[in-house]
Amino acid sequence: MLLLLFAYLFASVDSLVTCRRCDRLNSYEQQCELDNCTGDYCFTAEYFYGDTIDSVTQMGCIVGALPSEGCRTNQYGNTMCFCATPNCNYNQTMTTEAPSRLPLQTCQPRRQDNNPPIRWRRPCAANFCTFVGSEFNISNETFNWSDSDCSMENDFDLFSTHTVFNLYPESCVLLQYGGQPRLTACYGANGIEETASFEISTPVVECYVDYFSPLLPYVQTGGTCFGQFCFISATSRGEVYRGCASLDQSSATQQLGVGYTRSYTGLEQWICDSSLCNIDLRSAEQSWPEELADYK
């Protein structure tokens, strides 16, 4: 069964491809200092943030499972294109077809923070609804915090950009990582969090929990935690998170499992499923099956 899962996760491409990378190119700049990266797919994205009239172009590579290649536009009018041949994102000439529009749905924003609730918040139209919530204790009192909203300008049908964990659409994850209380995050249909279940059939594993930031003079440690998977996440800003994760992917087409993913935001993620396998990257990768050798 595990071998079938690994085959599904990485069957979309035959091998890693080389792509051109440009982290940020504003519309008033003439060129970007390009270098190369390797991944499952190359991408080119064009964003408009807020009310700005200047677009930002980004190029690079991602590792993960896509619903389809080609271009798509989200509810903000921002465009993301994916292709899977060497340097196919060079000069942003990826496809001559018009981008497809991601389907819209209605999301109901809600916020809970132990204060009197706002009587009503206007529903919003989005491609995906988001949920982030946590429970924490202060002076022996339990507090709940949660926020439901619409997907953001740089959200598409790949990974959510709302947490330090690469999460596919129509999925929820129960996370614990250094410096934070246990957190639930969902990305998909409105109210998906209400039916999320994190009961798993496989044995739970013990994982290291901590957080490193180049801006802090110390490492935020948290001992260990237990979950379906151990993970290490690293941001493009140099932050590193270790922790445990349990997933509800019962409604998801793209399935996350053991291995490596990289989002277009630069968030890299290593997942393993043996106790304390996230002590470092070498241990995480050595615990993977041979089918994932190209991603080590």
**For residues 71 and 78, what is the distance between their CA atoms, to the nearest angstrom?**
10
Boundary residue ending a domain (84, 101, 118):
101
pLDDT at residue 161 is higher than 80: yes
Read off the pLDDT band of 220 (50, 70, 90): low
The set of residues, in sequence order, having a beta carbon less than 8 Å from that of 276 and lying 6+ positions away, is 205, 206, 207, 208, 224, 230, 283
Which residue range is the domain that position 36 belongs to? Answer: 2-101
Are 96 and 119 within one domain? no
pLDDT for 18 equals 95
Of 76, 101, 126, which residue is a domain's last? Answer: 101
pLDDT at 101 (0 to 100): 96
How confident is the model at residue 187, as a pLDDT?
97
Among 10-14, 68-72, 93-97, 135-139, where is mean pLDDT lowest? 10-14
Q: Which residues of 216-228 are buried (b: 16+ CB within 10 A; e: fewer)?
A: eeeeeebebbebb
One domain for residues 24 and 169: no
- What pLDDT, on the 0 to 100 scale, is given for residue 1? 33
User: Tell me, what's the pLDDT at 6?
Assistant: 40
* Residue 47's CATH number: 2.10.60.10
Quick one: what percent of the chain has pLDDT higher than 70?
Answer: 86
Q: Are residues 190 and 44 in the same domain?
A: no
Biggest alpha carbon–alpha carbon distance for the chain: 60
Residues 121 and 266 in one domain: yes
Same domain for 126 and 153: yes
Query: What is the total count of domains within the chain?
Result: 2
| Interacting residues of 115 by C-beta distance below 8 A, sequence separation 6+ | none
Residues 112 and 166 grouped into a single domain: yes
Check pLDDT > 60 for residue 8.
no
Co-location of 121 and 96 in the same domain: no
Distance CA(239)–CA(178), nearest Å, equals: 11
pLDDT given for residue 192 in this prediction: 94
Regarding whether 109 and 97 lie in a shared domain, the answer is: no
pLDDT at 10: 43
Q: How many residues comprise the chain?
A: 296
Residue 94 sits in the same domain as residue 115: no
What is the chain's mean pLDDT, rounded?
86
Does the pTM of the predicted model rise above 0.75? yes
